[in-house]
Amino acid sequence: MSDGQPMPDLQKSRDHRRIPIAKVGVKDISYPIVVQDKNRSLQHTVARVDMYVDLPHQFKGTHMSRFVEILNRYREQVALDRLEDILREMRQKLGAETAHLRVEFPYFIDKAAPVSKARSLMEYTCEFDACLRGETLDFVLGVKVPVTSLCPCSKELSRFGAHNQRSIMTVKVRYTDFIWIEDLVALIEQCGSSPLYALLKRADEKHVTEQAYQNPRFVEDMVREAYLRLAAQENITWFSVEAENFESIHNHSAYAAVELDRRGSGR
Ligand SMILES: Nc1nc2c(ncn2[C@@H]2O[C@H](COP(=O)(O)OP(=O)(O)OP(=O)(O)O)[C@@H](O)[C@H]2O)c(=O)[nH]1
C-alpha cells in the first residue's frame, strides 16, 4: 500500500457458507506453447489456457496471481511433457488437492492435395486436458477434424446431386502410449465422405467432389466408422466422438455421439 501499511489479503479470510468449490482459477489466457510435430520435431503455437484448482470451504478466495506466475515460470516450456510438473506446482502453490490444466491450440498439418499434390497447411483445433488428483494424472487429447459429408438419403432420392456440407468431428482419447495428432486426424478423416484441404486446384476439386459422391455418409455412419477404427487400437483406453453436420438444406445441424470406456475392464 502506498502509505506503507500491509495490504489486506481478502482471499485468505474465512468463508462461512461451508461450500467447497470444485474448480476456481483463470480461464482463457493466451500463451505460447510447444507441441511435438510428427514431421518437423516441434511446432510452436499459441494456446488458450485454463488453470483451475479446488478451494476448501473455509477459504474466501484462491490466489489468482499464482496461476499466472506458475505459467510464466514455464515460459518456452509449456509442452505435453511439462503438464504434470505444472499441475503439481499449481497444487502446491495454491494448497489444493486437485489441479486442472487445459490448453486449446491451433495445430497445423502440412497436407498434399489429392491429385495436384499441391502442399498447404491445414489448421486443426486441438486440446490437452489434464487433471491431477492424488497421484493420478488424467489426460485427454482432443482434436476437432473438419470433413465433408454427403447425405446418402439425398443421393438416393435425387435425380441430380446430393446435399453435402462441412462437418466437424470432435474426437477425445485417453491412451497408454503416445498418439500423434497427425495419426488421429488421418483416422478421423476416413470417417466422413471426403477430407478437407486448405488448397485445391481444379483437378483436386473434381476428385474430392466425386469422392464425396461415391462415399455418402449419415452423421451416424461417421461416428460408427470412427468407433470401429478407434476401438481397434488397443492403446486407446477411452474415447468419445461427436459429429456435427452443418446441414446445407436445414438451418440446424445433424448430430451424433459415441463413447467407449475400457478403463477398469482389465484391458
Ligand atoms: N480470488 C479472486 N481473486 C480475484 C478475482 N478477481 C480478481 N482477483 C484478483 O487477483 C489478484 C491477485 O490475488 P492474489 O493472487 O491473492 O495476490 P497476492 O496476494 O498479491 O499474491 P500472493 O501473495 O501470492 O497470494 C487480486 O488483485 C484479486 O483481486 C476473483 O474473482 N477471485
Atom nearest to 7 CA in ligand 1: 19
Single residue among 104, 139, 169 that ends a domain in this structure: 104
Distance from the alpha carbon of residue 9 to the mean position of ligand 1, in angstroms: 8
Quote the pLDDT of residue 12.
80
Q: What does the alpha-carbon distance between residue 87 and residue 100 come to, in Å, rounded to a whole number?
A: 7
Instruction: Tell me which amino acid residue 180 is.
Output: W
How many domains are contained in the chain? 2
Backbone phi, psi, residue 43, to 5°: -130, 125
ipTM given for this complex: 0.90
Distance from the alpha carbon of residue 118 to the mean position of ligand 1, in angstroms: 51
Quote the pLDDT of residue 111.
97
**Residues 162, 90 share a domain:** no
What is the number of H-type helices and E-type strands within the chain?
6, 9
**What are the cell numbers at 123?**
489448421
Using the predicted structure, report yes or no on whether residue 257 has a pLDDT greater than 50: yes
**Residues 201, 81 share a domain:** no
Q: What does the alpha-carbon distance between residue 180 and residue 141 come to, in Å, rounded to a whole number?
A: 10
Mean pLDDT of 193-207: 98
Instruction: Tell me which amino acid residue 145 is.
Output: V
Q: Tell me which residue has cell 491429385.
A: 115
Q: Are 196 and 251 in contact (CB under 8 A)?
A: no
Q: Is residue 1 part of a domain?
A: no
**Residues 181, 257 share a domain:** yes
DSSP annotation of 82 = G
Identify the band that residue 267 occupies on the pLDDT scale cut at 50, 70 and 90.
very low
**What are the cell numbers at 221?**
455412419
Domain that holds residue 171: 113-267
Mean pLDDT of 143-153: 98
Q: Is residue 55 part of a domain?
A: yes
- pTM to 2 decimal places: 0.93
For 55-95, how does the pLDDT look when each residue is reduced to its tens digit (9 = 90+)?
A: 999 999 999 999 999 999 998 889 999 999 999 999 999 99
For 209-251, how does the pLDDT look when each residue is reduced to its tens digit (9 = 90+)?
A: 999 999 999 999 999 999 999 999 999 999 999 999 999 999 9
**What are the cell numbers at 28?**
482463457
Q: Is residue 6 part of a domain?
A: no
Using the predicted structure, report yes or no on whether residue 266 has a pLDDT greater than 70: no
Single residue among 104, 132, 154 that ends a domain in this structure: 104
Identify the band that residue 264 occupies on the pLDDT scale cut at 50, 70 and 90.
confident
Q: Is residue 7 part of a domain?
A: no
For 16-52, how does the pLDDT look when each residue is reduced to its tens digit (9 = 90+)?
A: 999 999 999 999 999 999 999 999 899 999 999 999 9
Q: Is residue 242 part of a domain?
A: yes
Q: Are 35 and 42 in contact (CB under 8 A)?
A: yes
- The CATH number that applies at residue 92 is 3.10.270.10
Distance from the alpha carbon of residue 188 to the mean position of ligand 1, in angstroms: 43
Nearest CA to ligand 1 atom 23: 63
Strand residue runs (E) in the chain: 21-37, 41-55, 98-112, 119-133, 136-150, 164-175, 194-195, 236-245, 254-261
**Residues 134, 262 share a domain:** yes
Q: Is residue 215 part of a domain?
A: yes
Single residue among 104, 136, 162 that ends a domain in this structure: 104
Mean pLDDT of 4-15: 83
Distance from the alpha carbon of residue 64 to the mean position of ligand 1, in angstroms: 5
**Residues 230, 249 share a domain:** yes
Q: Which residues line ligand 1 (CB under 6 A)?
A: 9, 11, 61-66
Collect all residues with Cβ–Cβ distance below 8 Å to 90 and sequence separation of at least 6.
51, 53, 66, 67, 70, 96, 99, 101
